[in-house]
Chains A and B, each alone.
Chain A
Amino acid sequence: DAKTTQPPSMDCAEGRAANLPCNHSTISGNEYVYWYRQIHSQGPQYIIHGLKNNETNEMASLIITEDRKSSTLILPHATLRDTAVYYCIVRVAGGSSNTGKLIFGQGTTLQVKP
Chain B
Amino acid sequence: GAVVSQHPSRVICKSGTSVKIECRSLDFQATTMFWYRQFPKQSLMLMATSNEGSKATYEQGVEKDKFLINHASLTLSTLTVTSAHPEDSSFYICSAVVGVRLGGTDTQYFGPGTRLTVL
Interchain nearest-CB distance for A11 vs B (Å): 19
Per the bound structure, the CA–CA distance linking A74 and B48 in Å amounts to: 32
Cβ of A68 within 8 Å of any chain B Cβ, yes or no, is no
Chain A, 77-88, contact with B by CB distance < 8 Å: what is the 0/1 string? 000000000010
Shortest distance between the CB of A24 and any CB in chain B (Å): 16
- A44-B44, A106-B43 given; A101·B49 CB < 8 A: yes
Q: Determine the main DSSP class of A at the interface with B.
A: loop
A46 and B105 contact, CB distance less than 8 A: no
Judged by a CB distance under 8 angstroms, whether A105 is at the interface is: yes
Stretch of B63-71, B72-80, B81-89, B107-115 at the chain-chain interface: B107-115
A residues at B contact (CB < 8 Å): 32, 34, 36, 38, 41-46, 49-51, 55, 87, 93-96, 99, 101-107
**Extra A-B contacts (9), CB below 8 Å, given A41-B113, A43-B112, A55-B103:** A43-B6, A43-B95, A50-B103, A51-B105, A94-B97, A99-B32, A99-B97, A104-B43, A104-B44
